A and B are shown apart, each in its own frame.
Chain A
Amino acid sequence: MSSPADLKFTSSHEWARIEGDVATIGITAHAAESLSDLVFLELPEVGDSVTAGETFGEIESVKAVSDLKSPISGEIAEVNASLPDNLSNVNNDPYGEGWMLKIKLTGTGDLLDAAAYDKLVADAS
Chain B
Amino acid sequence: MHYVQNTDADRKAMLATIGVDSIDDLMAQIPEGCRFEGELDVGPALTEDELVRHMKALASRNVSPEDRPSFLGAGAYRHFCPAMIDHLMYRTEFWTAYTPYQPEASQGTLRTILEWQTMMTRLTGTGVCNASMYDGATAVVEAVMMALRIQRNTDTVVVSKGLHPDARGCLATYLRSIDVTLIEVDLVDGRTPADAIPAAMGDSAVAAVAIQSPNVYGVVEDIKSLADAAHDKDALCVVAADPVSMSLLEAPGKLGADMVCGEATGMGNPPWFGGPGVGYLCGRMDHVRQMPARIAGETTDHDGNRAVVLTFQTREQHIRRTKATSNICTSQQLMALRATIWMTLLGKEGFVELGKVNLSRAHHAAQRIAALDGYELAFPGSHFFNEFTIRTPIPALEVNRRLLEEHGIIGGFNGARIAQCAGASVAKTAGAGNSAGTVNGTPLADDHLLIVAVTDVNTPAEIDKLVAALETIR
A interface residues (Cβ-Cβ under 8 A, vs B): 40, 42, 45, 58, 65, 67
Contact = CB atoms under 8 A, between A and B. Distances in A.
A65 B289 contact: no
A40 B289 contact: yes
Chain B interface mostly = loop
Interface residues of B, number: 6
Interface stretch (B21-29, B74-82, B315-323): B315-323
A42 B289 contact: yes
Contacts of B348: none
Nearest to A66: B320
Given A40-B289, A42-B289, A65 B319 contact: yes
B152 A65 contact: no
Contacts of B319: 65
A58 B152 contact: no
Nearest to A64: B319
Contacts, number: 10
Interface in B297-327: 315, 319-320, 323
Contacts of B323: 58, 65, 67
Nearest to B288: A40
A40 B314 CA distance: 13
A45 B323 CA distance: 18
A67 B320 CA distance: 9
B31 to A, nearest CB: 43
Contacts of A58: 323
Nearest to B318: A65
Contacts of B152: 45
Given A45-B152, A65-B323, A67-B320, 7 more contacts: A40-B289, A42-B289, A58-B323, A65-B315, A65-B319, A65-B320, A67-B323
B286 to A, nearest CB: 11
Contacts of B315: 65
Contacts of A67: 320, 323
Interface string B139-178: 0000000000000100000000000000000000000000
Interface string B269-307: 000000000000000000001000000000000000000
10 contacts: A40-B289, A42-B289, A45-B152, A58-B323, A65-B315, A65-B319, A65-B320, A65-B323, A67-B320, A67-B323
Contacts of A45: 152
Nearest to B290: A42
Q: What 5 A-B pairs have minimum CB-CB distances, sorted nearest first?
A: A65-B320, A65-B319, A40-B289, A65-B315, A58-B323
Contacts of A42: 289
B326 to A, nearest CB: 16
Nearest to A44: B152
Interface in B310-359: 315, 319-320, 323
A1 B315 CA distance: 34
A42 B152 CA distance: 13
Contacts of B289: 40, 42
Nearest to A58: B323
A12 B289 CA distance: 24
A57 to B, nearest CB: 11
A76 to B, nearest CB: 13
Contacts of B320: 65, 67
Nearest to B153: A45
Nearest to A65: B320
A67 B315 CA distance: 13
B288 to A, nearest CB: 10
Nearest to A40: B289
A65 B315 CA distance: 9
A53 to B, nearest CB: 16
Contacts of A40: 289
Interface string B113-154: 000000000000000000000000000000000000000100
A29 B152 CA distance: 31
A42 to B, nearest CB: 7
A112 B319 CA distance: 29
B459 to A, nearest CB: 53
B343 to A, nearest CB: 31
